[in-house]
Amino acid sequence: MLPDPVPAGGRPFTVLTFNTFLGDADADELAALIEARRPDVVALTETGVPFANRLSPLVAPLG
């Protein structure tokens, strides 16, 4: 539910969601996408620990 009237100003909040297809996605490509888009939140489905371990060091420097 949005307030009425909707407040003016502020900063956009961006979310990137990505299905890693059981961890078979390319971690380097996903890291590049995250770096290029700089979302506030990243939600990954079908990831698993092995994929997370590959991706984590690639995006850690981004904060």
Residue 6: DSSP 8-state: P
Q: Give SS3 for 43.
A: strand
Is 32 a member of any domain? yes
How much is the pTM? 0.81
Measured distance CA(45)–CA(22) in Å, rounded? 8
User: What pLDDT is stored for residue 9 in this prediction?
Assistant: 81
User: What pLDDT is stored for residue 5 in this prediction?
Assistant: 82
Is 1 a member of any domain? no
Q: Give SS3 for 1.
A: coil
User: What pLDDT is stored for residue 37 in this prediction?
Assistant: 96
Which helix (H) or strand (E) segment holds residue 15: the answer is: strand 15-19
Is 38 a member of any domain? yes
Domain count, the chain: 1
The residue type found at 26 is: D
User: What pLDDT is stored for residue 33 in this prediction?
Assistant: 97
Domain that holds residue 46: 15-62
Residue 39: DSSP 8-state: -
pLDDT per residue as tens, the chain (63 positions) = 767 887 788 888 999 999 999 999 999 999 999 999 999 999 999 999 999 999 999 999 998
Is 50 a member of any domain? yes
